[in-house]
Amino acid sequence: MLDVDAFGCRWTFDVRGLGGDLADTVEHLWERARARGDRDDPAADLPVFTALRHPDGTVEVQGGRQRATDDDVPYVVSRALTTASISRRTGDCLMLHAAGLAAPDGAVVALVAPSGTGKTTAARTLGHRLGYVSDETVAIEHDLAVRAYAKPLSVVVDPRRPTVKHERSPDDLGLLHAPDALRLAATVVLERDPDLVEPVLEPLGLVEAAGLALPQTSAVAKLDRPLERLARALTAGHGPWRLRYAEVDACADLVAALAAGEAPGGVPDPVTWEWVDGRDREHPDPTPEARPSPESVVQRAGYEDALVSDGSVLVLRQRVPTTLPGLAAVVWLGCPEPTTVAELVRAATEVLGEHPDAEGIVLDTVRVLAEAGAVAIR
């Protein structure tokens, strides 16, 4: 047995029940994730992660049982340990679905992308130049410290079956070790474009970046001040950034530069942003069926928190994000308390300029916001 560290969750990893060669194989795959240093409390029992093979051909991992071949068992183990570790860290740290690569000084670049769109390939390719942190989950603490998850890499073996993956040891792949102490240097949203000749690293608006990154998080809504935590991660290292590329091996210099604290192509203008707390405030329930009139009074409906940047707002309500650009942002920001349509028209005119049909456009915007559950009308 070995102690495994999964982004700050320490486990006693017991796979002896898989038997002989299979148990040895799985232990070898997880050797890079062996917990370093002494336990904080050597006398304390760690949670035990168990996997065992039954005579009927099924495998049982953490109480869940399914049929799997010996080739499939390592990936079943990997998914189960990831899920169990996410559960333990829910509400505690920001968990990005990202590949993580680290410079020798511990500066980490998190490459965020949906499942099956290049995280493992990026880790496998760039991990020969930068230290391997993870191919799946980059966990970021309050102070932007990063917790490694040096799991085996989950590699698609048949493009026609993208959900079938085999595990490869980072040691067998020759990936570099990451330092023990890690901190976030930059967060990058990946976008693969096979038509590009050269990779393009470009600044990205914070609200747009947060909207892209939110689906690539685990249990973010369970965090205290979730959008603030996400914004701090995205704006690290002169970000947010988007990396568009055809082949990830052509991106090594760009990623290494970000890890070194550089901004390839020049430092972009600083991103300014504001976090808006929606908790512990009295807000009316949304009125999606209401139709506003010039005499209507409008107020924000309940929400958890919001992010304001560059004329746009990202609102998190019942764990669902909504992006409000332009006039929609002006209207939403203008009604934290009961506010008349006339007052909203004045606010829109001050921000966006005069328009001959300002009242009608504001009324249409209020209606759309009400239908989306963002405001209440009375």
pLDDT in tens, 92-137: 999 999 999 999 999 999 999 988 778 999 999 999 999 999 999 9
Q: Are residues 267 and 281 in the same domain?
A: no
Question: Which pLDDT score is estimated for 74?
Answer: 95
CATH of the domain at 298: 3.90.930
Tokens found for residue 84: 């169990």
Q: Are residues 142 and 291 in the same domain?
A: no
Indicate the residue among 60, 85, 110 that finishes a domain.
85
Question: Which pLDDT score is estimated for 52?
Answer: 95
Q: Are residues 38 and 18 in the same domain?
A: yes
Alpha carbons 235 and 271: distance in angstroms, whole number: 7
Amino acid identity of residue 83, one-letter, is T
How many distinct structural domains can be found in the chain?
3
Question: Which pLDDT score is estimated for 164?
Answer: 75
Question: Which pLDDT score is estimated for 40?
Answer: 55
Question: Which pLDDT score is estimated for 154?
Answer: 93
Residues of the chain with pLDDT under 50: 43
Tokens found for residue 64: 């869940």
| Residue 346 lies in domain | 275-377
Indicate the residue among 271, 295, 321 that finishes a domain.
271
Q: Are residues 106 and 171 in the same domain?
A: yes
Q: Are residues 81 and 97 in the same domain?
A: no
Q: Are residues 305 and 243 in the same domain?
A: no
* Model confidence pLDDT, tens digit, residues 311-336: 999 999 988 999 999 999 999 999 99
CB 207, CB 323: distance < 8 Å = yes
Indicate the residue among 23, 53, 85 that finishes a domain.
85
Q: Are residues 243 and 353 in the same domain?
A: no
Q: Are residues 220 and 124 in the same domain?
A: yes
Question: Which pLDDT score is estimated for 121?
Answer: 93
The three-state secondary structure class of 101 is strand
Please tell me the pTM assigned to this model.
0.93
- Measured distance between the N- and C-terminal CA atoms of the chain, rounded to whole angstroms: 64
Q: Are residues 137 and 266 in the same domain?
A: yes
Q: Are residues 251 and 284 in the same domain?
A: no
Tokens found for residue 286: 């949304």
